[in-house]
């Protein structure tokens, strides 16, 4: 029971019970008030009607007939139900069911007084009136007549509150049981993941309730975590594999230099080659750092509203001297400004990687077309198409993996991180990278938005 009272289900059930009691009170209060007003008004109308009836009897037959009429009415009614008193100017009782004139104001009107009635003290409402020749008439009713009905009303209200509390406790227990069942599933899933089963997921139902929505969200989170862990594992393995070659070559060159001590010209040539190997390693690490920042979403802080046309135009201008040197036809097309919310440095890097890849594989006398289009106000497409050898369909899903090198790129410079970076930049900007055949060649499209 202590665990239940500390659980969120208990506080939730308590809150609902408290709100239910407030709602019940708000419903019962005007009902009770309306009942009291109706009873009081009805009682006052009855007393006024009786007073007028007795006045009419007095006007027709005088005091003698009124005394007979009152005594007849007293004999017919239930003792204590109605108060009827007729007194003279000295307040001596002439007729009625009271032994003496009660303590009531001498002014005509309606009053609520306390007096002994049927052997007990009771509250009564009376109408005091004056008749000709100094006679006084008192007509009243006992207020406790409807007291049992009012008591039953409050008992009913208390019973409703008790039922509401019991229902809240039972509902809280059921809610806690349901929550604990789902929480146990979460606990089992987390325990399995901690033990190494990264593929374990939360069980979801077809009800689509809040817990199902939470489970689906957690499953998406676990999918992303599993993907990142596998990515880190693959990156670690690939780094060890890809860096081993340049580091081994660097060590071999330095070892040969230390053993042979060649002429200065040859020594400087080997030193330049070693520097190139070190630069290659640095480029790999820089690319990996950029990918790590993109995957972590840290580069979103640099998002500003930029014109994609200007970014692509600057990249095209940068590569124009290379195209002129190798007799490659590089063309740029656009339909006006294409504003996009993004990181200008990363977008420029992604476009440069795609243009660099296209120029690298297209060869002399090739054709590379760069195009920026805005199909809708919220989307921007950056397309780089070439007429080179292209990428086989079997390799298209793999080229965005880190350090992947296709069969046609073994003799080309690079480490296999260019398209990986482009894909990461596209995903960071809420888009994707699409690779299609250009017949011949490759059409790479970065879709943002």
Domains of the chain are: 2-150 (3.30.450), 210-295 (1.10.287.130), 298-448 (3.30.565.10)
Checking DSSP bridges between strand 329-334 and strand 367-376, what pairing results, if any? parallel
Output the six-digit token pair for 111: 């009053």
Residues in the chain: 449
CA 417 – CA 290 distance, rounded (Å)? 11
β partners of residue 330: 368
Q: CA 5 from chain center: how many Å?
A: 26
Please report the pLDDT score of residue 277 as a whole number: 74
Could you count the other beta carbons within 10 Å of the beta carbon of residue 390? 20
Please report the pLDDT score of residue 236 as a whole number: 65
Please report the pLDDT score of residue 310 as a whole number: 93
Q: Do 421 and 349 contact (CB within 8 A), yes or no?
A: yes
CA 16 – CA 171 distance, rounded (Å)? 10
Query: Which parts of the chain have pLDDT scores under 50?
Result: none
Phi and psi, residue 205, nearest 5°: -110, 175
CA 20 – CA 137 distance, rounded (Å)? 50
Please report the pLDDT score of residue 407 as a whole number: 60
Please report the pLDDT score of residue 223 as a whole number: 83
User: Which is nearest to 166 in space by CA: 29, 20, 3?
Assistant: 20
Output the six-digit token pair for 172: 């809280």
Please report the pLDDT score of residue 19 as a whole number: 81
Please report the pLDDT score of residue 406 as a whole number: 61
Could you count the other beta carbons within 10 Å of the beta carbon of residue 317? 11
Q: Taking the CA of residue 38 as centre, how many other CA atoms within 13 Å lie in the half-sphere pointing to its CB?
A: 7
Sign of CA dihedral 386, 390, 394, 397: negative
Phi and psi, residue 328, nearest 5°: -110, 135
Please report the pLDDT score of residue 382 as a whole number: 93
């Amino acid at each position: 029971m202590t665990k239940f009272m500390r659980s969120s289900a208990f506080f939730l059930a308590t809150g609902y019970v408290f709100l239910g009691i407030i709602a019940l009170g708000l419903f019962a209060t005007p009902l009770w008030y309306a009942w009291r007003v109706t009873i009081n008004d009805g009682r006052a109308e009855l007393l006024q009607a009786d007073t007028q009836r007795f006045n009419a009897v007095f006007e027709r037959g005088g005091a003698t007939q009124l005394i007979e009429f009152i005594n007849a009415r007293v004999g017919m009614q239930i003792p204590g139900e109605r108060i009827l008193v007729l007194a003279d100017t000295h307040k001596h009782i002439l007729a009625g069911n009271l032994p003496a004139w009660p303590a009531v104001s001498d002014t005509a009107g309606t009053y609520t007084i306390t007096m002994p009635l049927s052997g007990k003290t009771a509250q009564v409402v009376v109408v005091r009136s004056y008749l000709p020749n100094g006679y006084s008439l008192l007509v009243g009713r006992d207020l406790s007549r409807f007291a049992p009905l009012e008591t039953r009303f409050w008992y009913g209200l208390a019973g409703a509150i008790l039922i509401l509390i019991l229902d809240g406790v039972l509902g809280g227990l059921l809610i806690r049981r349901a929550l604990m069942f789902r929480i146990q599933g979460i606990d089992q899933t987390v325990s399995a993941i901690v033990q190494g089963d990264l593929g374990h997921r939360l069980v979801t139902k077809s009800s689509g309730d809040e817990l199902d929505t939470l489970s689906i969200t957690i499953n998406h989170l676990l999918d992303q975590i599993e993907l990142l862990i596998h990515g880190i594992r693959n990156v670690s393995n690939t780094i060890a594999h890809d860096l081993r070659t340049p580091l081994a070559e660097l060590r071999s060159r330095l070892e040969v230099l230390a053993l042979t001590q060649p002429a200065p010209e040859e020594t400087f040539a080997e030193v330049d080659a070693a520097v190139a190997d070190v630069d290659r390693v640095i480029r790999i690490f820089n690319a990996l750092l950029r990918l790590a920042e993109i995957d972590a979403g840290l580069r979103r802080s640099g998002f500003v509203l930029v014109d994609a046309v200007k970014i692509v135009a600057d990249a095209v201008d940068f590569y124009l001297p290379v195209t002129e040197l190798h007799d490659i036809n590089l063309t740029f097309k656009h339909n006006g400004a294409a504003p996009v919310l993004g990181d200008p440095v990363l977008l420029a890097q992604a476009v440069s990687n795609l243009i660099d890849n296209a120029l690298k594989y297209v060869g002399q006398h090739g054709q590379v077309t760069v195009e920026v289009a805005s199909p809708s106000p919220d989307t921007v497409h950056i397309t780089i198409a070439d007429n080179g050898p292209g990428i086989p369909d079997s390799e298209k899903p793999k080229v965005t993996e880190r350090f992947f090198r296709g069969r046609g790129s073994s003799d080309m410079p690079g480490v296999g991180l260019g398209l990986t970076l482009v894909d990461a930049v596209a995903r960071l900007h809420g888009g994707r990278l699409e690779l299609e055949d250009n017949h011949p060649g490759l059409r790479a499209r970065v879709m943002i938005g």
